[in-house]
Every structure is written in structure tokens, then in C-alpha cells.
Amino acid sequence: NMRYSIVVPYAKQGRFNHAKVSIKLPEEIATVILQYIKQFELPTNNQLFDLGNYAVTYCTTAINEQLFEFSPQEYQQRVSNGELIQIKYTSSQFRHHVAYSMALSGSSAEDIAYILGHSSLVTARHYIFSSPNLAQIRAIALGRNPVYQQIIAMLMTGDIITHEQDHGKNIIGFINNKIHINIGKCSYKANCFLEPVRSCYGCVYFHPYINGNHKEVLECVQYELESIIYMSDAVYNSSNPIIAINEATKFEIQSVIKRCKLNSELKNADD
């Protein structure tokens, strides 16, 4: 009895060397691969399939052919009859889809980074923190009543403060590759596991600055939301749950901006 396995490298080459993914092969497939190695006299340190400039085209074609085989029979039949145009995915879109699917199913940042072949957890964290179930539940619970929305919004964050007030540490974070530092303070005592800035606007430990740069954060979130909608439309997934989640984040930021404006007006009236 023989056992065969093949080691698969990452999709991206990271800065660190990790153990590769080992896949067990049936004896029939192993025999074909061994014959291929023997026929072309491939050294053990060479790539098994060196596609060169055709690698992207080959992988994209393979992905779409396999996805089509996995699709429902009704869809395959309608495509074959010319009633529908087959949905095609690029390799990048497929990678994003896998990462978002893993994030929505509760996978850890380490698992996502492992599958995508990333050398750090930064990108994987973005996939996770852009899809928290709490934000989606909160968005549904807000309803459509504007008065109720404002009441809930006031419960989402802490007090509106000035830079001089001591309510914890200053919050610094990135959204859309732009750093945001002048938004408020965090009074949470332990180390927070959520992503700074993005998750703060719906947190009770967040104390927004009355004159903070909240509009800049809103612009960055709006740009990300438009990009997600564009990507979802490109893959014919207009019901992408990430859209609802980012819309909830947008609403949270808008609520803080309205609260800051109201507090500023009341303060000026008292003066």
C-alpha cells in the first residue's frame, strides 16, 4: 500500500516561511504526477507546473470552470441553452469572496491569513472587522423611525467631550489607507480586540470629540461602501451582507456628527 501527498505553496509569497499545505492524493492521480515528473526529468526543487506568463489565465479559467460545475443544474442548463450569460470571476474576486465568506462564518484572522497566504494579520483583520454580526443586528434593530434612531444613537457612544477632558486614551486608526487621529478617546480599560476608529462609533466606551474630524472618517467609509457596492455588482451579488454592515457603520458616524453639532449649538447658546 502506497500513500502519496503533494505540498501546495501559498497564493502569495509572504515574508515568513510557514509550513505548506499538504494534500493527500489518490493513487491514480499520484501515478500520473510521478509519470509527469519522470518524463520531463523535473528536479525535486523545481515547480511541478511552471506556467510562466500564462499562470493567471490558467488559474482564472480553472476557477470559473470548477465554479460552473458546482453551480445548480438549472443554471448550467440555462447557460448551455444561451438563456443566461455565465458569471465569470477573476482570481482576485475569488480570493476576496473566500476571505469574506470565511469572515462571515466566524474564521479567525490566522485562518484567513493562512488561506490567503498573507505574511501578517493586517488584511485578515479588515475582513473580520468589516463584517461584525453586532453591527448587522444593530442596523436591523434601529428600524426606520428617525426619533427612535436618535435615541438608540445616543446609547451607542459615551459623552461628547473636548480634547482637554480625561476620558481614556486617544484613538488612532486607519480607514481606506488614511490615518485618523482626532476623533475622540476610549475609556475601555483592557486591550480592545476591535479595529480602532471603524468600530468605535458604535461603542459605549467611545467619547467623541465635539470638534473631531468625524466628517473625514465618514468620507472614507462612504468611499469604501461605494467600492463594496461596485464589487458586489460586478459579481452579481447585490444582496452582499457587507453592504448592510458598512451602511450601519455609516449611520453610526452620521449619528455622532449630529450629536456633536447639537452639543456645539447648546454650548454656544449657554455662552
**Is the model more confident about 158 or about 259?**
259
Look at residue 193 in the predicted model and tell me its pLDDT.
76
Q: What is the rounded average pLDDT of the residues 80-91?
A: 87
- What whole-number distance in Å separates Cα of residue 176 and Cα of residue 217? 9
In the chain, the N- to C-terminal Cα span, in Å, equals 88
Is residue 168 over pLDDT 50? yes
Taken in order 254, 139, 137, 133, the sign of the CA dihedral is negative
What's the pLDDT tens digit per position in 239-264?
677 777 788 788 888 888 888 888 88
Look at residue 141 in the predicted model and tell me its pLDDT.
46
Coil, strand or helix at 18: coil
Look at residue 21 in the predicted model and tell me its pLDDT.
62
How many other CB atoms are found less than 10 A from the CB of residue 45? 5
Q: What is the rounded average pLDDT of the residues 213-223?
A: 91
Classify strands 21-25 and 184-186 as parallel, antiparallel or unpaired.
Answer: unpaired
C-alpha cell at 61: 479559467
Task: Give the range among 5-19, 80-94, 200-214 with minimum mean pLDDT.
Answer: 5-19
- What whole-number distance in Å separates Cα of residue 100 and Cα of residue 106? 10
Q: What is the rounded average pLDDT of the residues 180-187?
A: 91
Domain boundaries along the sequence of the chain:
1-50, 59-88, 90-129, 133-270
Look at residue 12 in the predicted model and tell me its pLDDT.
57
